[in-house]
Amino acid sequence: MNSPAETRIALAVLPAGTDRAGHLQYWLERRPDSAHLGGMLAFPGGKCQPDESPRDALARELFEELGIQPIESRLLIEIPWVYSANSNEPEGKPESRHLRLMVYRVEKWQGELHGREGQSVTAQTLDCSRQSEWMSALPPANRGIVAALCLPPRIAITPACGEGQAGFDAWHQALAKTAEALRQRFGARASIVQLRPGRDLSIAQWTAAVTTVQSMGLLAWVNANLDIAIACRADGVHLNRHRLASENPETLADWRAENRWVSASGHTLEEVQLANEAGVDALLVSPVLPTLSHPGAPGIGWARFGELTRAAAMPTYALGGMSECHLPQAQNQGGQGIAAIGAYFGH
Protein backbone atom coordinates (compact mmCIF):
# COMPACT_ATOMS: atom_id res chain seq x y z
CA MET A 1 0.00 0.00 0.00
CA ASN A 2 1.34 3.44 -0.91
CA SER A 3 1.77 6.01 1.83
CA PRO A 4 -0.84 8.80 1.82
CA ALA A 5 0.25 11.95 0.02
CA GLU A 6 1.49 14.67 2.34
CA THR A 7 0.59 18.34 2.12
CA ARG A 8 3.73 20.33 2.78
CA ILE A 9 3.37 23.41 4.99
CA ALA A 10 6.21 25.97 5.23
CA LEU A 11 6.26 27.81 8.57
CA ALA A 12 8.47 30.59 9.90
CA VAL A 13 9.82 31.11 13.41
CA LEU A 14 10.45 34.86 13.55
CA PRO A 15 12.39 36.13 16.59
CA ALA A 16 10.98 39.32 18.08
CA GLY A 17 13.62 40.14 20.71
CA THR A 18 13.24 39.53 24.44
CA ASP A 19 10.92 40.70 27.20
CA ARG A 20 12.02 42.43 30.40
CA ALA A 21 12.76 39.09 32.05
CA GLY A 22 15.04 38.07 29.20
CA HIS A 23 12.67 35.49 27.71
CA LEU A 24 12.71 35.20 23.92
CA GLN A 25 9.74 36.48 21.96
CA TYR A 26 8.43 35.38 18.56
CA TRP A 27 5.97 36.85 16.07
CA LEU A 28 2.73 34.85 15.95
CA GLU A 29 -0.55 35.27 14.13
CA ARG A 30 -4.05 34.66 15.45
CA ARG A 31 -5.93 32.18 13.25
CA PRO A 32 -9.29 33.47 11.95
CA ASP A 33 -12.29 32.07 13.83
CA SER A 34 -13.62 30.61 10.58
CA ALA A 35 -10.41 28.68 9.83
CA HIS A 36 -9.39 25.18 10.91
CA LEU A 37 -8.28 25.49 14.57
CA GLY A 38 -9.74 28.99 14.53
CA GLY A 39 -8.79 31.38 17.32
CA MET A 40 -5.48 29.65 18.09
CA LEU A 41 -2.09 31.26 17.72
CA ALA A 42 -0.04 30.16 14.73
CA PHE A 43 3.39 30.52 13.20
CA PRO A 44 3.23 32.43 9.89
CA GLY A 45 3.33 30.43 6.68
CA GLY A 46 1.20 28.24 4.48
CA LYS A 47 0.89 25.44 1.97
CA CYS A 48 3.52 24.74 -0.66
CA GLN A 49 2.09 24.87 -4.14
CA PRO A 50 2.72 21.94 -6.51
CA ASP A 51 6.38 21.85 -7.59
CA GLU A 52 7.18 24.73 -5.20
CA SER A 53 10.08 24.23 -2.79
CA PRO A 54 9.42 24.85 0.92
CA ARG A 55 11.85 27.79 0.94
CA ASP A 56 10.12 29.38 -2.06
CA ALA A 57 6.75 28.81 -0.42
CA LEU A 58 8.03 30.37 2.79
CA ALA A 59 9.23 33.48 0.96
CA ARG A 60 5.93 33.82 -0.90
CA GLU A 61 3.79 33.29 2.20
CA LEU A 62 5.78 35.71 4.35
CA PHE A 63 5.48 38.43 1.73
CA GLU A 64 1.76 37.83 1.23
CA GLU A 65 0.97 37.62 4.95
CA LEU A 66 3.50 39.94 6.58
CA GLY A 67 5.12 42.03 3.83
CA ILE A 68 8.63 40.74 4.52
CA GLN A 69 11.21 38.81 2.52
CA PRO A 70 13.48 36.32 4.36
CA ILE A 71 17.22 36.84 3.92
CA GLU A 72 18.75 34.37 6.37
CA SER A 73 16.99 31.19 7.50
CA ARG A 74 17.72 27.61 8.52
CA LEU A 75 15.58 24.51 8.83
CA LEU A 76 14.63 24.07 12.48
CA ILE A 77 12.53 20.91 12.32
CA GLU A 78 10.34 18.79 10.04
CA ILE A 79 7.13 17.47 11.58
CA PRO A 80 4.92 14.79 10.01
CA TRP A 81 1.38 15.10 11.31
CA VAL A 82 -2.06 13.67 10.66
CA TYR A 83 -5.28 15.57 11.35
CA SER A 84 -8.60 13.80 11.34
CA ALA A 85 -11.22 15.34 9.08
CA ASN A 86 -13.54 15.71 12.08
CA SER A 87 -11.18 16.38 14.96
CA ASN A 88 -8.25 18.47 16.09
CA GLU A 89 -6.49 15.35 17.27
CA PRO A 90 -4.19 13.25 15.07
CA GLU A 91 -5.59 9.92 13.91
CA GLY A 92 -4.81 7.38 11.26
CA LYS A 93 -8.18 7.24 9.47
CA PRO A 94 -8.29 7.20 5.65
CA GLU A 95 -10.06 10.58 5.56
CA SER A 96 -7.35 12.22 7.64
CA ARG A 97 -5.12 14.96 6.26
CA HIS A 98 -1.44 14.10 6.20
CA LEU A 99 0.78 17.14 6.68
CA ARG A 100 4.51 17.76 6.76
CA LEU A 101 5.49 20.97 8.51
CA MET A 102 8.75 22.42 7.21
CA VAL A 103 9.72 24.86 9.96
CA TYR A 104 12.40 27.48 9.33
CA ARG A 105 13.96 29.85 11.81
CA VAL A 106 14.26 33.18 9.99
CA GLU A 107 16.98 35.31 11.57
CA LYS A 108 16.98 38.19 9.07
CA TRP A 109 14.40 39.65 6.73
CA GLN A 110 13.68 42.74 4.65
CA GLY A 111 10.60 44.88 5.01
CA GLU A 112 8.40 46.11 7.84
CA LEU A 113 6.54 43.23 9.42
CA HIS A 114 2.77 43.81 9.57
CA GLY A 115 -0.42 41.83 8.98
CA ARG A 116 -1.31 42.34 5.32
CA GLU A 117 -4.42 40.15 5.40
CA GLY A 118 -6.18 41.77 8.34
CA GLN A 119 -4.86 39.23 10.82
CA SER A 120 -3.56 40.05 14.29
CA VAL A 121 0.25 39.73 14.55
CA THR A 122 1.83 40.05 17.98
CA ALA A 123 5.15 39.35 19.72
CA GLN A 124 4.53 36.47 22.12
CA THR A 125 6.89 35.58 24.98
CA LEU A 126 8.10 31.99 25.19
CA ASP A 127 9.03 31.15 28.77
CA CYS A 128 10.61 27.72 28.46
CA SER A 129 9.95 26.98 32.12
CA ARG A 130 6.22 27.27 31.26
CA GLN A 131 6.22 25.72 27.80
CA SER A 132 2.84 24.02 28.27
CA GLU A 133 1.14 27.43 27.94
CA TRP A 134 2.39 27.72 24.35
CA MET A 135 1.66 24.08 23.60
CA SER A 136 -1.99 24.59 24.55
CA ALA A 137 -2.29 27.89 22.65
CA LEU A 138 -0.92 26.52 19.36
CA PRO A 139 -2.24 23.75 17.09
CA PRO A 140 -1.27 20.27 18.33
CA ALA A 141 1.15 19.75 15.44
CA ASN A 142 3.17 22.70 16.72
CA ARG A 143 4.20 21.02 19.99
CA GLY A 144 7.38 19.82 18.32
CA ILE A 145 8.22 23.39 17.30
CA VAL A 146 7.92 24.60 20.90
CA ALA A 147 10.13 21.74 22.07
CA ALA A 148 12.71 22.57 19.39
CA LEU A 149 12.79 26.19 20.54
CA CYS A 150 13.13 25.29 24.22
CA LEU A 151 15.33 22.21 24.37
CA PRO A 152 19.13 22.59 24.28
CA PRO A 153 21.30 20.88 21.64
CA ARG A 154 23.05 18.38 23.92
CA ILE A 155 22.19 15.66 26.40
CA ALA A 156 24.94 14.47 28.74
CA ILE A 157 24.16 10.94 29.94
CA THR A 158 25.75 9.74 33.15
CA PRO A 159 27.85 6.57 33.28
CA ALA A 160 26.75 3.72 35.55
CA CYS A 161 26.77 4.21 39.29
CA GLY A 162 28.91 1.90 41.43
CA GLU A 163 27.42 -0.30 44.12
CA GLY A 164 26.74 0.81 47.68
CA GLN A 165 26.93 4.23 49.25
CA ALA A 166 30.58 4.62 48.22
CA GLY A 167 29.63 3.97 44.60
CA PHE A 168 26.86 6.55 44.78
CA ASP A 169 29.11 9.13 46.44
CA ALA A 170 31.74 8.79 43.69
CA TRP A 171 29.06 8.94 40.97
CA HIS A 172 27.44 11.98 42.58
CA GLN A 173 30.78 13.74 42.85
CA ALA A 174 31.51 13.12 39.15
CA LEU A 175 28.01 14.34 38.34
CA ALA A 176 28.54 17.62 40.17
CA LYS A 177 31.90 18.16 38.48
CA THR A 178 30.50 17.49 35.00
CA ALA A 179 27.40 19.62 35.53
CA GLU A 180 29.57 22.56 36.60
CA ALA A 181 31.83 22.05 33.57
CA LEU A 182 28.81 21.99 31.24
CA ARG A 183 27.49 25.22 32.70
CA GLN A 184 30.84 26.95 32.42
CA ARG A 185 31.44 25.71 28.87
CA PHE A 186 27.99 26.19 27.37
CA GLY A 187 25.97 28.30 29.80
CA ALA A 188 22.84 27.76 31.86
CA ARG A 189 20.00 25.72 30.29
CA ALA A 190 22.26 24.87 27.34
CA SER A 191 22.50 21.20 28.35
CA ILE A 192 20.33 18.40 29.65
CA VAL A 193 21.80 15.89 32.07
CA GLN A 194 20.13 12.50 31.86
CA LEU A 195 20.63 10.58 35.09
CA ARG A 196 21.09 6.92 34.16
CA PRO A 197 22.74 5.19 37.16
CA GLY A 198 22.14 1.68 35.84
CA ARG A 199 21.01 0.45 39.24
CA ASP A 200 18.33 1.16 41.81
CA LEU A 201 18.70 4.34 43.84
CA SER A 202 16.69 5.49 46.81
CA ILE A 203 14.39 8.45 46.30
CA ALA A 204 16.72 10.46 48.52
CA GLN A 205 19.64 9.63 46.22
CA TRP A 206 17.63 10.44 43.08
CA THR A 207 16.58 13.74 44.65
CA ALA A 208 20.14 14.63 45.61
CA ALA A 209 21.35 14.01 42.06
CA VAL A 210 18.49 16.00 40.51
CA THR A 211 19.05 18.89 42.90
CA THR A 212 22.77 18.98 42.07
CA VAL A 213 22.09 19.28 38.36
CA GLN A 214 19.36 21.87 38.78
CA SER A 215 21.56 23.95 41.09
CA MET A 216 23.92 24.39 38.10
CA GLY A 217 21.10 25.82 35.99
CA LEU A 218 20.81 22.66 33.86
CA LEU A 219 17.82 20.45 33.12
CA ALA A 220 17.79 17.17 35.06
CA TRP A 221 16.06 14.26 33.34
CA VAL A 222 15.88 10.83 34.95
CA ASN A 223 16.09 7.52 33.08
CA ALA A 224 13.50 5.81 35.26
CA ASN A 225 9.78 5.30 35.61
CA LEU A 226 7.47 8.26 35.99
CA ASP A 227 6.82 7.66 39.70
CA ILE A 228 10.52 8.21 40.42
CA ALA A 229 10.61 11.33 38.22
CA ILE A 230 7.65 12.79 40.08
CA ALA A 231 9.06 11.93 43.51
CA CYS A 232 12.45 13.55 42.91
CA ARG A 233 10.98 16.56 41.05
CA ALA A 234 12.98 16.01 37.90
CA ASP A 235 12.60 18.32 34.91
CA GLY A 236 12.00 15.38 32.59
CA VAL A 237 11.75 11.63 32.36
CA HIS A 238 13.33 9.30 29.80
CA LEU A 239 11.26 6.23 29.00
CA ASN A 240 12.61 3.19 27.22
CA ARG A 241 10.28 1.29 24.91
CA HIS A 242 8.83 -0.89 27.70
CA ARG A 243 8.19 2.00 30.09
CA LEU A 244 6.73 4.12 27.27
CA ALA A 245 4.25 1.38 26.40
CA SER A 246 3.26 0.78 30.04
CA GLU A 247 2.90 4.32 31.38
CA ASN A 248 -0.62 5.68 31.71
CA PRO A 249 -1.18 8.27 28.91
CA GLU A 250 -3.25 10.48 31.22
CA THR A 251 -0.52 10.48 33.85
CA LEU A 252 2.04 11.39 31.20
CA ALA A 253 -0.21 14.21 29.98
CA ASP A 254 -0.56 15.54 33.53
CA TRP A 255 3.24 15.44 33.92
CA ARG A 256 3.74 17.39 30.69
CA ALA A 257 1.04 19.89 31.68
CA GLU A 258 3.19 20.71 34.73
CA ASN A 259 5.95 21.91 32.34
CA ARG A 260 7.91 18.69 32.54
CA TRP A 261 9.45 16.86 29.59
CA VAL A 262 9.23 13.31 28.26
CA SER A 263 11.88 11.69 26.07
CA ALA A 264 12.05 8.22 24.56
CA SER A 265 14.43 5.99 22.62
CA GLY A 266 14.10 5.18 18.93
CA HIS A 267 16.08 2.56 17.03
CA THR A 268 13.56 1.67 14.33
CA LEU A 269 10.71 3.28 12.43
CA GLU A 270 8.25 1.32 14.57
CA GLU A 271 9.72 2.82 17.74
CA VAL A 272 9.59 6.29 16.23
CA GLN A 273 5.90 5.80 15.47
CA LEU A 274 5.32 4.63 19.04
CA ALA A 275 6.92 7.84 20.30
CA ASN A 276 4.76 9.88 17.91
CA GLU A 277 1.61 8.20 19.19
CA ALA A 278 2.63 8.79 22.80
CA GLY A 279 3.31 12.48 22.13
CA VAL A 280 6.77 12.58 23.70
CA ASP A 281 8.87 15.75 23.50
CA ALA A 282 12.26 14.39 22.40
CA LEU A 283 13.63 11.22 20.84
CA LEU A 284 17.11 9.74 21.24
CA VAL A 285 17.99 7.88 18.03
CA SER A 286 20.74 5.27 18.31
CA PRO A 287 23.24 3.88 17.67
CA VAL A 288 24.31 6.35 14.98
CA LEU A 289 28.03 5.48 15.04
CA PRO A 290 29.94 2.52 16.52
CA THR A 291 30.43 2.79 20.28
CA LEU A 292 32.92 1.52 22.83
CA SER A 293 30.08 -0.09 24.77
CA HIS A 294 29.18 -2.25 21.74
CA PRO A 295 32.51 -3.02 20.02
CA GLY A 296 32.15 -4.38 16.50
CA ALA A 297 28.47 -3.42 16.20
CA PRO A 298 27.87 -1.04 13.27
CA GLY A 299 25.89 2.14 13.75
CA ILE A 300 22.87 3.02 11.65
CA GLY A 301 24.78 5.93 10.07
CA TRP A 302 23.85 9.54 9.44
CA ALA A 303 21.56 8.85 6.48
CA ARG A 304 19.37 6.51 8.54
CA PHE A 305 19.43 8.97 11.44
CA GLY A 306 18.06 11.57 9.02
CA GLU A 307 15.32 9.20 7.84
CA LEU A 308 14.18 8.45 11.39
CA THR A 309 14.38 12.15 12.27
CA ARG A 310 12.09 13.04 9.39
CA ALA A 311 9.62 10.42 10.61
CA ALA A 312 9.57 11.91 14.12
CA ALA A 313 7.11 14.58 15.23
CA MET A 314 9.52 15.89 17.87
CA PRO A 315 13.17 16.97 18.15
CA THR A 316 15.69 14.14 17.84
CA TYR A 317 19.15 13.61 19.31
CA ALA A 318 21.86 11.44 17.76
CA LEU A 319 23.21 8.92 20.29
CA GLY A 320 26.08 6.48 19.87
CA GLY A 321 29.72 7.43 19.27
CA MET A 322 28.92 11.14 19.60
CA SER A 323 31.21 14.02 20.53
CA GLU A 324 30.68 17.77 20.41
CA CYS A 325 32.17 17.90 16.91
CA HIS A 326 29.26 15.79 15.63
CA LEU A 327 26.67 18.41 16.61
CA PRO A 328 26.66 20.14 13.17
CA GLN A 329 26.20 16.78 11.42
CA ALA A 330 23.21 15.92 13.58
CA GLN A 331 21.63 19.31 12.90
CA ASN A 332 22.36 19.06 9.17
CA GLN A 333 20.23 15.90 9.18
CA GLY A 334 17.38 17.79 10.84
CA GLY A 335 18.18 16.72 14.40
CA GLN A 336 18.08 18.90 17.48
CA GLY A 337 21.52 17.81 18.67
CA ILE A 338 23.51 14.99 20.22
CA ALA A 339 23.46 12.80 23.31
CA ALA A 340 26.58 11.23 24.73
CA ILE A 341 28.22 9.71 27.80
CA GLY A 342 31.97 9.71 27.22
CA ALA A 343 32.06 13.06 25.42
CA TYR A 344 30.98 14.81 28.61
CA PHE A 345 31.73 12.44 31.48
CA GLY A 346 34.96 10.97 30.13
CA HIS A 347 35.83 7.29 30.16
Whether 2 is covered by a domain: the verdict is no
pLDDT (tens digit per residue) in 116-173: 988 889 999 999 999 999 999 999 999 999 999 999 999 999 999 999 999 999 999 9
Q: At 340, which CATH number?
A: 3.20.20.70
Do residues 25 and 136 both lie within one domain?
A: yes
Cβ neighbors of 8 (< 8 A, separation 6 or more) are 47, 48, 54, 57, 99, 100, 102
Residue 90 lies inside a defined structural domain of this protein? yes
| Helix residue spans in the chain (DSSP H) | 54-66, 131-137, 143-150, 164-186, 203-215, 226-231, 241-246, 249-257, 269-278, 301-311, 327-332, 342-345
Spatial distance between the Cα atoms of 259 and 263, rounded to a whole number of angstroms: 13
287 prior amide bond cis, ω within 30 = yes
Per-residue pLDDT of the chain (347 residues; tens, 9 = 90+): 456 789 999 999 999 999 999 999 999 998 766 666 667 899 999 999 999 999 999 999 999 999 999 999 999 999 999 987 655 544 544 467 899 999 999 999 999 999 998 888 999 999 999 999 999 999 999 999 999 999 999 999 999 999 999 999 999 999 999 999 999 999 999 999 999 999 999 999 999 999 999 999 999 999 999 999 999 999 999 999 889 989 988 999 999 999 999 999 999 999 999 999 999 999 999 999 987 666 667 899 999 999 999 999 999 999 999 999 999 999 999 999 999 999 999 74
On whether residue 68 sits in a domain, the answer given is yes
Rg (Cα) of the chain, in Å, rounded? 21
Give φ, ψ of 259 to 5 degrees.
Answer: 65, 35
User: Alpha-carbon distance 196 to 319, whole Å?
Assistant: 14
Where does a domain end: 118, 133, 150? 150
Query: What is the domain count for the chain?
Result: 2
> What strands, in cross-sheet order, belong to the sheet with 7-13?
45-47, 7-13, 97-110, 69-83
Quick one: 81 and 190 in the same domain? no
Domain's final residue, options 150, 178, 208: 150
Task: Indicate whether 31 belongs to any domain.
Answer: yes
| Dist. CA 22–CA 346, nearest whole Å | 34
Residue 39 and residue 117 in one domain: yes
Whether 145 and 174 map to the same domain: the answer is no
